[in-house]
Structure 1
Amino acid sequence: MTGTAEAREFYARLMAAHAGSADARLGEAFATVPREAFLGPGPWTIIAGEGRVTTPTADPAHIYQNVLVALDADKGINNGEPCLHAMWIGRIAPRPGEAVTHIGAGTGYYTALLAKLVAPGAVIAFELDAVLAARAERNLAAYGNVTVIHGNAVTSPLPASDIIYVNAGVVAPPAAWLKALKPGGRMIFPWRPAERVGLAVLVTGTERGFACHPFMGSWFIPCVGASASDPSAKIPDRQRAARSRSIWPISDKAPDRTATAIIGEVWFSSRGVGGGRG
């Protein structure tokens, strides 16, 4: 086994372990989707804290580890931390035949992983940056179940989705995103209601409403059109945000005393969809 192949095999096992999923297909997806195919030619720039380190060569073995690889360093856009995405994908548990909307697809690496996991289901991938969208379209050409859209998912209608996978920070998800979820659908997004508050949130559509579970810290670049709040918004601190257990479109249900946050078209509650407190 070559050094690159060995690094890739270990990387896949590491990602599967971080995912904490019983689905063996997740590790297989990380093993079979070549990360280097989505990064452009090496050597690559690795983001390390506030600094940058360039890989010594273009050997892909250098990027089969839990590192952030720059896609556009000047704009702060990178390929994302693989361990974080492994945990997120483990949480949303993609199943064959499901429909996925990926918001903030970048050059398509995590889109490709999702496409593998839901095939023959379809993936719609939104990317606002024209250069990245063009690269994603080229990179994903071999994935027949993926459609790349160069556009803004905040202002564009979303298709009905079993999974909405958001890779850009929002002060709150638009109500239209919630309503695009099919029954039993899941959405995962980086919630950034305030400068010092960054949480990954899993939303699950139920018959009674939208359950939500903030489960880890998370920091992504802002989502254009959904990263600013108006002065009347009720903005939570991290402790209050972490107590959120449901999210509601204001048009469906008015905020009450359990509100942990009221932002734009939606509000978050400390009460679960079944009435229990978090």
Structure 2
Amino acid sequence: MTRIEDIRKFYARLLAANAGSPDPRLEAAFADVPREAFLGPGPWTVVAGNGKVITPSADPAHIYQNVLVALDDDKGINNGEPFLHAMWIGKLEPKPGEAVCHIGAGTGYYTAVLARLVSPGGIVTAFELDEKLADLARQNLEAYGNATVVHGDAVTTPLPPSDIIYVNAGVAAPPAGWLKALRPGGRMIFPWRPAERVPLAVMVTRTQKGFACDPFMRSWFIPCVGASVADPAAMIPTGEQAARSRSIWLAQDRAPDDTATAISGDVWFSSENLHTEPRKQR
């Protein structure tokens, strides 16, 4: 084992331990995917608080830490916090044979991890709106035969039927098309930003009764173009209301009622757990 492989293996062990995932494949996937292959040539710019630090050399040992590495400094796009992504991916529990849609793939690092976790038999479709980043992701993922990069708008483009939708851009509400793309038992994690003061990560699971949701932590991601601004008629939740959300509904299936915690266009959030009886609609 080379020095960098040893460093990467320890980094993967730290990520898996922090994620608390019972799946040993999560650690193996992060140990297998070289982060430096997705960052461009070093030295690299590391985001540190409100400032930036340049790594002292192009030695990849510098980026096997829980640090944000800039991908496009001018646009504020970075490679993401490894501890957070490992936890989110572990929470989604990708399984071999599943179909994943990765929205906001950047240069493809976490796409590659997902591709490893759904192998054999699974596929990952990665959407990236920025043309330069999409081209880099396509090059970076050539070695991953089950990953496809789409340079396009995941808000307006129909998503393929998915067991997992992994969203890395903040939305005021998930577009109805994303919810419809989830297969029965499918899971989605997205950064919910209905207001500047309400930054939450939400886990959605498609059950027989509808879309169960769990706002499980605070989070902030770069805004998702086309889905980050709430409709003028939207019901904007307070932080407390947002945290009480337990299900998501399509207005076409059920009109908002007195359980509504947030309403945005044709999607609304409810405090109702799906095992309870629905309340009377307005």
TM-score by length of 2: 0.96
1:135 aligns with 2:130: no
How many residues are matched? 277
For residue 54 of structure 2, what is the aligned residue in structure 1?
Answer: 54
1:235 aligns with 2:244: no
Instruction: Calculate the aligned-residue CA RMSD, in Å.
Output: 1.1
**Matched residue of 2:155: which SS?**
coil
For residue 196 of structure 2, what is the aligned residue in structure 1?
Answer: 195
What is the CA deviation profile of residues 145-172 of structure 1, one whole-angstrom value per residue up to 9, with x for unaligned ones? 0110000000000000000000000000
What is the CA deviation profile of residues 84-133 of structure 1, one whole-angstrom value per residue up to 9, with x for unaligned ones? 00110111000000000000000000000000000120100000000000
Aligned-pair identity in percent equals 73
What is the CA deviation profile of residues 57-93 of structure 1, one whole-angstrom value per residue up to 9, with x for unaligned ones? 0000000010000000110000000000011011100
Deviation at 1:4?
A: 2.7
1:105 aligns with 2:109: no
For residue 86 of structure 1, what is the aligned residue in structure 2?
Answer: 86
For residue 182 of structure 1, what is the aligned residue in structure 2?
Answer: 183
For residue 67 of structure 1, what is the aligned residue in structure 2?
Answer: 67
What is the CA deviation profile of residues 15-59 of structure 1, one whole-angstrom value per residue up to 9, with x for unaligned ones? 111221111000000001000000000000000111000000000
Correspondence 1:184-263 to 2 at 5 A = 184-263=185-264
What is the CA–CA distance in structure 2 between the aligned matches of 1:251 and 1:33, rounded to whole Å?
42
What is the CA–CA distance in structure 2 between the aligned matches of 1:230 and 1:170, rounded to whole Å?
12
**Matched residue of 1:228: which SS?**
coil
For residue 264 of structure 1, what is the aligned residue in structure 2?
Answer: 265
Counterpart residue identity of residue 218, structure 2 = G
What is the CA–CA distance in structure 2 between the aligned matches of 1:253 and 1:49, rounded to whole Å?
43
Counterpart residue identity of residue 181, structure 1 = L
For residue 275 of structure 1, what is the aligned residue in structure 2?
Answer: 276
1:26 aligns with 2:26: yes
**Matched residue of 2:31: which SS?**
helix
Deviation at 1:273?
A: 1.4
1:124 aligns with 2:99: no
Gaps of 5+ in 1: none
Deviation at 1:272?
A: 1.1
**Matched residue of 1:58: which SS?**
coil
Gaps of 5+ in 2: none
What is the CA–CA distance in structure 2 between the aligned matches of 1:74 and 1:114, rounded to whole Å?
27
Deviation at 1:5?
A: 3.1
Counterpart residue identity of residue 52, structure 1 = K
Counterpart residue identity of residue 244, structure 1 = S
What is the CA–CA distance in structure 2 between the aligned matches of 1:6 and 1:123, rounded to whole Å?
28
What is the CA–CA distance in structure 2 between the aligned matches of 1:6 and 1:55, rounded to whole Å?
20
Deviation at 1:7?
A: 2.2
**Matched residue of 1:230: which SS?**
coil
What is the CA–CA distance in structure 1 between the aligned matches of 2:277 and 2:172, rounded to whole Å?
25
TM-score by length of 1: 0.98
What is the CA–CA distance in structure 2 between the aligned matches of 1:55 and 1:114, rounded to whole Å?
27
Deviation at 1:3?
A: 4.4
**Matched residue of 2:125: which SS?**
strand
**Matched residue of 1:84: which SS?**
helix
What is the CA–CA distance in structure 2 between the aligned matches of 1:2 and 1:276, rounded to whole Å?
58
**Matched residue of 1:239: which SS?**
helix
Counterpart residue identity of residue 150, structure 1 = H
Deviation at 1:2?
A: 5.1
What is the CA–CA distance in structure 1 between the aligned matches of 2:17 and 2:277, rounded to whole Å?
32
